[in-house]
Amino acid sequence: MPYIEINERLYPPLAYTTYFDECGEWSDFIKNGYKMFFVNVSFNDLPINNVTGFTPFRTGVFETKKPDYTEFESTVHSILKECPDAFIFPRIHITMPRKWVAENTYETVDTPNGGRRESLFSDKFREDGGELLKNLISHIQASDYCYRIAGYQLCGGTTQEWIHHDLNGSFSPMGLEKYKKWAAKKHGIDITNGLEAKDFSKNVLTKEASLYYRFCCEEVAATIEHFAKICKECTSNQQIVGVFYGYNGFVRDPLWGLHGLGEIISSPHIDFFSSPCAYDDTRSLGLDWGDMLPVDSVRLHGKLCFIECDIRTSLTKRMQDSRPGQYPEDIMPLVNNEGKRTVWKGPESEELSISALRKAFAHQAAKGSGIWWFDMWGGWYHSETLMNELNAMRSICEERVNTDITDCPCAEVALFIDERAYANSPRTSPLTDAVNAIRVAMGNTGIPFDTYMVEDAEGVISDYKAVIFTATNPSERGIAASKLCKEKGIPCILPTEEKYFYSTEELRDLLTDMGVHCYNQDNNVIYCSNGFLGIHTKKPGETTIHLPRRMLIKPLLDDRVEAQVTDTITIDKPQHTTLLFEI
């Protein structure tokens, strides 16, 4: 299992947080042995979601003449009063106060819900935001709780995930000027005519727009690294720094700015990368909630994947019910206007809620990633049964911190993501949608797989029996990676514009023909790596899991299945049951 080293001791990266501090289950998690807590703090109280207008913050630290740390520090002190040895990670929203926005309109962009916000690649935002970040860290270092600060998570942009505030690449006069200079300096291209909004049509791709797609992603990455470097310097390189970024396995629109992971994946200033587990099919049970990040590349570069598991439960309610009268009735509903469930609605029962938590945990445990349970509106896990489950998961992680897994099956398939290829197709075309669609389809093949950037192909490709590429119009790096397969005689699946999607059944048939071991052909979700085997059933009834060889399997989280040495596991369970084994 992965670990975080604090004061020469190793701790599992397992944490809790909430947006609504007053509704959070801090006490429940503390009583169940959790020590790590992310606490939100923002430079302003403006919306974090520039589509809905939602913000969880009541106080912006720098919105008043004298900085106001009340909202942040009251939560920190409350946690430490109950758990004096807790580890606090400030989750800092780096975003400029109203006064700055009003005085620096050239450095800002229009947002979808009205108003203006900072351009994410504005030099002045980097400079002034950096000063505010220094001030915040300096205040924390001088506080009575400074010795309980274990690290920082740096957030920005829409939904705090470094998405451009306009969802359109921070397209503005300032952005165009910076783009021209970037194109000339980095690519030797003289852009004289500029760009217009029509160049970003979903059905058309121009050379200028394609280049702008790369620019608006790479410059967001540069901004993130800029702030991470400041954070590292302020803490004398002694504390952990992490960021949201790099959702290139899930987000297909390059104008969101999330396809610049390759620029900073090796940064010495960033220790962990975060993303939520994917929201495919509104988080329905019966399928893998995969990784938005290429997690195996992140680990390959010596970084921790600290995944946000905001798992809805049967206790999840509307945020309007957690803070009555605070928000409009029509934002973030549990069901839409047609009466269909949205991503915000949890499972109907406590039993299915446990299965959902187990599925998320099994996935991250098998991938060697950390978890922070994100109880967004509070109360999602306020149940003795659910907390017993989360307590058991904590124990599993603590018992296996830094364990050396040498005799465990691992993935025989590598799935490669080519983030630069998103700029080679019309914006949000079906061709770019294929990346996430193939990843989702793979999740139910019964064949575990690893996920990498194409830039890492040369170093890892020989470790796999088969390879899947996901880009229909690959970048030069993607083309080079596919050529490596041919040179090394490794069979691969390579989408084309004519055949850009493969179903679960097609992928399974192709991969088994390539000699890959299939654990199960009943479209169940199977995780197997890092000493863990996870099974999530798609349908009710009997199903058999075929292991690659005989081995000792021990049930975890469920004592109704006996430990045994075997190469097959036959189970007869209700639909959407999740089982976890140590192997």
Q: CA 575, CA 477: separation in Å to the nearest integer?
A: 42
| Shared-domain flag, residues 98 and 184 | yes
Residue 563 pLDDT: 87
Q: Which of 399, 425, 443 is the last residue of a domain?
A: 399
Residues 389 and 416 in one domain: no
- 445 and 545 in one domain? yes
Q: Are residues 501 and 521 in the same domain?
A: yes
Find the largest Cα–Cα distance for the chain.
Answer: 71
Query: How, if at all, do strands 87-93 and 151-155 pair?
Result: parallel
Q: Are 120 and 162 in contact (CB under 8 A)?
A: yes
Give the model's pLDDT for residue 92. 98
Q: How many domains does the chain have?
A: 2
Phi, psi of 493 (to 5 degrees): -105, 125
Domain boundary among 399, 416, 451: 399
Are both 185 and 294 inside the same structural domain?
yes
Residue in this structure with the two tokens 């993130």, named with its chain if needed: 224
**354/352 Cα distance (integer angstroms):** 5
Give 192's contacts (C-beta < 8 A, 6+ positions apart): none
Q: Do 439 and 490 share a domain, yes or no? A: yes
Residue 559 confidence (pLDDT): 63
Q: Domain ends where: 383, 399, 415?
A: 399
One domain, residues 303 and 257? yes
Q: What is the pLDDT along the chain (583 residues), one digit of tens a residue?
A: 889 999 889 999 999 999 999 999 999 999 999 999 999 999 999 999 999 999 999 999 999 999 999 999 999 999 999 999 999 999 999 999 999 999 999 999 999 988 999 999 999 999 999 999 999 999 999 999 999 999 999 999 999 999 999 999 999 999 999 999 999 998 888 887 778 777 887 778 888 889 999 999 999 999 999 999 999 999 999 999 999 999 999 999 999 999 999 999 999 999 999 999 999 999 999 999 999 999 999 999 999 999 999 999 999 999 999 999 999 998 999 999 888 999 999 999 999 999 999 999 999 999 999 999 999 999 999 999 999 999 999 999 999 887 777 778 999 999 999 999 999 998 888 888 999 999 999 999 999 999 999 999 999 999 999 999 999 999 999 999 999 999 999 999 999 999 999 999 999 999 999 999 999 999 999 999 999 999 999 999 999 999 999 999 999 987 667 789 999 999 999 999 999 999 9
Residues with Cβ within 8 Å of residue 443, at least 6 apart in sequence = 287, 288, 290, 525
Q: Which residues contact 218 (CB under 8 A, 6 or more apart)?
A: 182, 260, 263
Is residue 240 located within the same domain as residue 345?
Answer: yes
Please, which residues have CB within 8 angstroms of residue 363's CB and are 6 or more apart in sequence?
Answer: 277, 288, 289, 290, 291, 527, 534
Q: Which domain holds residue 443?
A: 405-583
Q: What's 99's domain CATH number?
A: 3.20.20.80
Query: If you write DSSP's letter for every residue of 38-99 in order, what string do you get?
Result: EEEEES--S-S-TTT-----S--TTSSSS---HHHHHHHHHHHHH-TT-EEEEEEE----HH
**19: Cβ contacts below 8 Å, ≥ 6 apart:** 40, 56, 376, 377, 378
For residue 202, the model assigns a pLDDT of 77
451/385 same-domain check: no
Instruction: Tally the C-alpha atoms within 13 A of residue 408's C-alpha that lie toward its C-beta.
Output: 20
Does residue 292 sit in the same domain as residue 409? no
Cβ-Cβ contacts under 8 Å for 508 (sequence gap 6 or more): 445, 446, 447, 518, 521
CA-wise closest residue to 307 among 260, 243, 242, 364? 364
Phi (first) and psi of residue 570, to 5 degrees: -105, 125
With a CB cutoff of 8 Å and minimum separation 6, the contacts of 15 are: 34, 36, 37, 38, 89, 306, 370, 371, 372, 373
The closest alpha carbon to 393, from 26, 31, 9, 33, belongs to 33
Same domain? 198 vs 144: yes
412 and 390 in a common domain: no
